[in-house]
């Protein structure tokens, strides 16, 4: 993990308009992309916490457009929460800088933003119960609903073709052909697994489904759950909110919640789909999104679960072959371990396909 000079972090934090004195910051969370810190400001006996982030500009080079999206999305979500007394815990709010911007570029080119920290809430890397899956499903369903009918202009594509599975597949083939890290010979089985499934990569895009505004990164640790009530209260990680298919969000929930094991579990016997959790995701998601989804979109949900799990699997494999320069890793072969868990889950989804279709039919 990157080690950053504390003075650099402190200087960035002080750019934001907050009452009180900066009193320290510690690395926070388990995201693979940005660098996040829990920052403390003190004013007399009062202490306030913030989530300070150094944006990954390799992944998001156009920070202006990225932050324009986030500003619009946070305002929209916040205004839809107007009636709620604890709106500050339910909608992210960008803290502005002293010169009234929503992000700061430091002298070294680092780009920073800051949100109030949602206290007494947690982000789960793996869920502990089907009820949590229901909650997270509902939260992302409501999020899509809040962003439906957003007035023009269209949101920017912060990462073009983010969920274009055929292009992700083409990128894998290119990484295999280039083999810059000399690792292709270690992953012949995984390459074979991916190649056998190439024909499915176009299926969601070819289905003629309507464009929505979607989150696109709906893994379970991108929602905060209230510690006391277990309610999913706040959708976070808004970098990839942009036009997309409803199934992208449903699919990444299937990927990150139906298996009891972590995304990087090495014991693959622990990786499999749990039907009751799948059902909880469907019920939670449709309790909100059911109101606006078409019949074809609902029918596409099981396929989306398989396809997004497969897609993230090939992205991990591509990054492994390319020398690990996209996803943050914490050990050698980390991306390969992540790829293997995704592929194992794809197999488990395939074995349950008929049951998943029936469940969606019954819930929809």
Instruction: List residues near ligand ADP by CB under 6 A.
Output: 28-29, 31-34, 36, 51, 92, 115, 117-118, 123, 221-222, 224, 236-237
Could you say which of ligand GN1, ligand ADP, Mg ion, none residue 36 binds, taking C-beta under 5 to 8 angstroms by partner kind?
Answer: ligand ADP
Give the span between the Cα atoms of 165 and 245, in whole angstroms: 12
* Partners of 35 in the β-ladder: 54
* Closest approach of ligand ADP to the CB of residue 36, in Å: 4
Strand order from edge to edge, sheet including 111-116 = 21-27, 35-43, 46-54, 111-116, 104-105
* Total residues belonging to the chain: 364
Task: Count CB atoms within 10 A of the CB of residue 60.
Answer: 18
Which residues touch 249 (CB under 8 Å, ≥6 apart)? 140, 143, 144, 214, 215, 216, 218, 285
For 249, the 3-state DSSP assignment is: helix
The residues binding Mg ion (CB under 5 A) are 31, 222, 237
| 336 within 8 A of 320, measured Cβ to Cβ | yes
Give the span between the Cα atoms of 255 and 345, in whole angstroms: 8
- Does 312 bind ligand GN1 (CB under 6 A)? Our answer is yes
In this complex, which beta carbon is closest to ligand GN1, that of residue 191 or of residue 236?
236
In this complex, which beta carbon is closest to ligand GN1, that of residue 298 or of residue 315?
315
Task: Count CB atoms within 10 A of the CB of residue 240.
Answer: 23
Could you say which of ligand GN1, ligand ADP, Mg ion, none residue 29 binds, taking C-beta under 5 to 8 angstroms by partner kind?
Answer: ligand ADP
* Closest approach of ligand GN1 to the CB of residue 239, in Å: 6
- Residue of 240, 312, 247 lying closest to 281 (CA atoms): 247
Secondary element (H or E) of residue 40: strand 35-43
Could you say which of ligand ADP, ligand GN1, Mg ion, none residue 59 binds, taking C-beta under 5 to 8 angstroms by partner kind?
Answer: ligand GN1
- Does 297 bind ligand GN1 (CB under 6 A)? Our answer is no
In this complex, which beta carbon is closest to ligand GN1, that of residue 15 or of residue 251?
251
* Closest approach of Mg ion to the CB of residue 308, in Å: 16
Give the span between the Cα atoms of 62 and 158, in whole angstroms: 8
In this complex, which beta carbon is closest to ligand ADP, that of residue 102 or of residue 349?
102
Cis peptide before 206 (omega within 30 of 0): no
Structure tokens at 287: 């309790």
* Closest approach of ligand GN1 to the CB of residue 216, in Å: 7
DSSP letter (8 states) at residue 207: G
- Does 309 bind ligand GN1 (CB under 6 A)? Our answer is no
Give the span between the Cα atoms of 347 and 23, in whole angstroms: 49
For 99, the 3-state DSSP assignment is: coil
In this complex, which beta carbon is closest to Mg ion, that of residue 31 or of residue 244?
31
Instruction: Quote the radius of gyration of the chain (alpha carbons, Å).
Output: 20
Could you say which of ligand GN1, ligand ADP, Mg ion, none residue 263 binds, taking C-beta under 5 to 8 angstroms by partner kind?
Answer: ligand GN1
In this complex, which beta carbon is closest to ligand ADP, that of residue 31 or of residue 251?
31
CB-nearest residue to ligand ADP: 31
- Does 319 bind ligand GN1 (CB under 6 A)? Our answer is no
In this complex, which beta carbon is closest to Mg ion, that of residue 263 or of residue 337?
263
- Does 217 bind ligand GN1 (CB under 6 A)? Our answer is yes
- Does 251 bind ligand GN1 (CB under 6 A)? Our answer is no
Could you say which of ligand GN1, ligand ADP, Mg ion, none residue 104 binds, taking C-beta under 5 to 8 angstroms by partner kind?
Answer: none
Residues of this chain that interact with ligand GN1 (CB under 6 A) are 31-33, 59, 217, 219, 222, 237, 239-240, 263, 312, 327
């Amino acid at each position: 993990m990157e080690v950053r000079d504390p003075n650099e972090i402190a200087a960035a934090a002080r750019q934001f308009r907050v009452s009180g004195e900066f009193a320290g910051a510690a690395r926070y969370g388990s995201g693979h992309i940005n660098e996040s810190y829990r920052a403390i400001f003190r004013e007399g006996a009062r202490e306030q916490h913030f989530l300070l982030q150094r944006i990954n500009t390799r992944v998001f080079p156009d920070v202006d457009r990225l932050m324009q999206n986030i500003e619009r999305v946070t305002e929209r979500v916040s205004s839809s929460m107007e009636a709620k007394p604890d709106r500050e815990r339910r909608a992210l709010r960008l803290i502005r800088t002293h010169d009234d911007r929503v992000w700061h570029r430091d002298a070294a080119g680092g780009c920073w933003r800051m949100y109030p920290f949602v206290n007494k809430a947690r982000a789960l890397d793996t869920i502990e119960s089907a009820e949590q899956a229901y909650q997270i499903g509902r939260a992302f369903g409501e999020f899509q609903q809040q962003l439906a009918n957003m007035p023009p202009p269209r949101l920017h594509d912060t990462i073009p073709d983010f969920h274009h599975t055929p292009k992700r597949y083409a990128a894998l083939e290119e990484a295999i052909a280039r083999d810059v890290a000399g690792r292709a010979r270690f992953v012949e089985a995984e390459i074979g697994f991916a190649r056998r499934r190439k024909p499915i990569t176009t299926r969601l895009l070819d289905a003629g489904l309507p464009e929505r505004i979607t989150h696109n990164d709906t893994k379970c640790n991108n929602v905060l759950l209230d510690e006391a009530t277990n309610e999913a209260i706040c959708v976070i990680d808004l970098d990839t909110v942009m036009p997309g298919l409803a199934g992208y969000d449903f699919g990444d929930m299937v990927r990150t919640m139906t298996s009891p094991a972590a995304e990087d579990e090495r014991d693959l016997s622990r990786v499999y789909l749990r039907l009751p959790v799948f059902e909880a995701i469907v019920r939670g998601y449709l309790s909100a999104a059911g109101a606006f989804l078409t019949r074809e979109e609902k029918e596409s949900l099981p396929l989306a679960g398989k396809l997004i799990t497969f897609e993230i699997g090939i992205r991990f494999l591509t990054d492994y072959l390319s020398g690990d320069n996209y996803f943050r890793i914490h050990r050698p072969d980390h991306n390969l371990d992540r790829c293997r868990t995704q592929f194992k889950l794809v197999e488990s989804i395939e074995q349950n396909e008929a049951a998943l279709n029936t469940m969606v039919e019954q819930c929809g």
